[in-house]
Amino acid sequence: MSPTISPDGVYVSTQQLVALEARARDLTFLQKARSQQQLAGRMNSSLRGRGLTFEELRNYLPGDDIRSIDWRVTARTAKPVVRVYSEEKERPALVVVDQRINMFFGSRRSMKSVTAAEAAMLCAWRILGSGDRVGGFVFGDVRIDEVKPHRSRNAVIAFADRIADMNASLRADTKISAGSRQLDTVLDTVANIARHDHLVVVISDFDGHTGHTRDLLLQLASVNDVICLLIYDPFLLELPTAGDLVVSGGAMQAELPLGKASMRTSIDAFARNRGRELRAWQDELGLPMLPVSAAEETAPQLRRMLEQSAWRQRRR
């Protein structure tokens, strides 16, 4: 671990994740053609016109159609209120967050596992704030925890608790079996649940991805809105030109002579090719593959990436 990482950047607590609620309010998820609006909230019905069955009054949320505002109630309460009809359907959301040992690495600011945890909670809070049910999966090397989607703060806090618990179990000397396929296992589970009209956010460094990973994402994206957040650390892209680096994967450790140009070139090529391969999925699968650095603050990056993704889709 680099001395530039503060103690708060190694592990993350439930309290820290809950405190991200305020920072999530200005995030924006782009919905596909199911609505004319750019939001992470209720979807308009595919039926023509507005529904005739009134469901509820609720406070106006950023992204709501202003035509749904009930002006009489708004005038009476001095707060914008919208009318919701039974044909306005919700979009349940599943947030999938990676807490495997490969995420327990960082060269500055925080471990990838902490950045992934922060990104997951920023997404969960924003989705809840938009009026949708939200739940998700937290997966490690041997365990997968599920929180079923609910429209409540308690459910999001429970999700934060599961993330923090699995994050706290990460140790540098963890031994894992070779050929672990936890990424594919959790995506298989998600695909069985999200059969249509879900928002699925996958947050991982995608270590150990396979052709089956690609197929599962394609299957999910064909019937749902899918966003992938690619968590990375810039260290491998900015290798020092001198000295040796000792790295450990838990079961073994190796010394890399970075003073040798051939070694730096080999590592650099591996890192860049892997990044290009994953980002190519964005065009292949038609889903956002957004890179988020563990070396920078998470919320501003996520805001910027989601805005750029929304702009690209509007241009199509």
The encoded tokens of residue 287 equal 């889903």
Among 12-21, 104-113, 266-275, the range with the most confident prediction by mean pLDDT is 12-21
Say yes or no to pLDDT of 217 above 90: yes
Number of folded domains in the chain?
2
Candidates 296, 292, 295, 297; CA nearest to 309 is: 292
Q: Which residues contact 256 (CB under 8 A, 6 or more apart)?
A: 244, 245, 246, 247, 263, 267
pLDDT tens, residue by residue, 175-184: 766 557 999 9
Whole-model pTM: value is: 0.74
Of residues 44 and 89, the one with the higher pLDDT is 89
pLDDT tens, residue by residue, 151-190: 999 999 999 999 999 999 999 877 766 557 999 999 999 9
- Quick check: 145 and 63 in contact, CB under 8 A? no
Say yes or no to pLDDT of 270 above 90: no
Asked if the structure places residue 37 within a domain, the reply is no
SS3 content of the chain, % helix, strand, coil (to 5): 40, 20, 40
Asked if the structure places residue 2 within a domain, the reply is no
Asked if the structure places residue 159 within a domain, the reply is yes
Say yes or no to pLDDT of 243 above 80: no
- Quick check: 115 and 231 in contact, CB under 8 A? yes
CA gap 125, 95 in Å, rounded: 11
The encoded tokens of residue 288 equal 């956002």
The rounded mean pLDDT for the chain is: 79
Whether residue 148 is found in the same domain as residue 189: yes
Residue 281 is predicted with a pLDDT of 78
Residue 230 is predicted with a pLDDT of 92
Whether residue 219 is found in the same domain as residue 246: yes
CA gap 153, 9 in Å, rounded: 25
Say yes or no to pLDDT of 259 above 60: no
Mean pLDDT of 126-134: 92
Determine the residue type at 153.
R
pLDDT tens, residue by residue, 99-119: 999 999 888 899 999 999 999
Asked if the structure places residue 48 within a domain, the reply is no
Say yes or no to pLDDT of 32 above 50: no
Whether residue 148 is found in the same domain as residue 76: no
Whether residue 20 is found in the same domain as residue 160: yes
Domain with 28, as residue range(s), is 7-32+90-315
Residue 45 is predicted with a pLDDT of 39
Residue 249 is predicted with a pLDDT of 41
CA gap 194, 133 in Å, rounded: 13
Q: Say whether 210 sits in a helix, a strand or coil.
A: coil
| Confidence label for 235 from pLDDT (cuts 50, 70 and 90) | confident
| Confidence label for 252 from pLDDT (cuts 50, 70 and 90) | very low
- Quick check: 29 and 40 in contact, CB under 8 A? yes
CA gap 66, 130 in Å, rounded: 15
Say yes or no to pLDDT of 31 above 70: no
Candidates 125, 140, 131, 212; CA nearest to 176 is: 140
Whether residue 94 is found in the same domain as residue 24: yes
Of residues 187 and 255, the one with the higher pLDDT is 187
Q: Which helix (H) or strand (E) holds 301?
A: helix 298-315
CA gap 132, 42 in Å, rounded: 7
Q: Say whether 176 sits in a helix, a strand or coil.
A: coil
Whether residue 163 is found in the same domain as residue 308: yes
Say yes or no to pLDDT of 134 above 90: yes
Whether residue 138 is found in the same domain as residue 68: no
Q: Which of 64-68, 111-115, 229-233, 274-278 has the lowest mean pLDDT?
A: 274-278
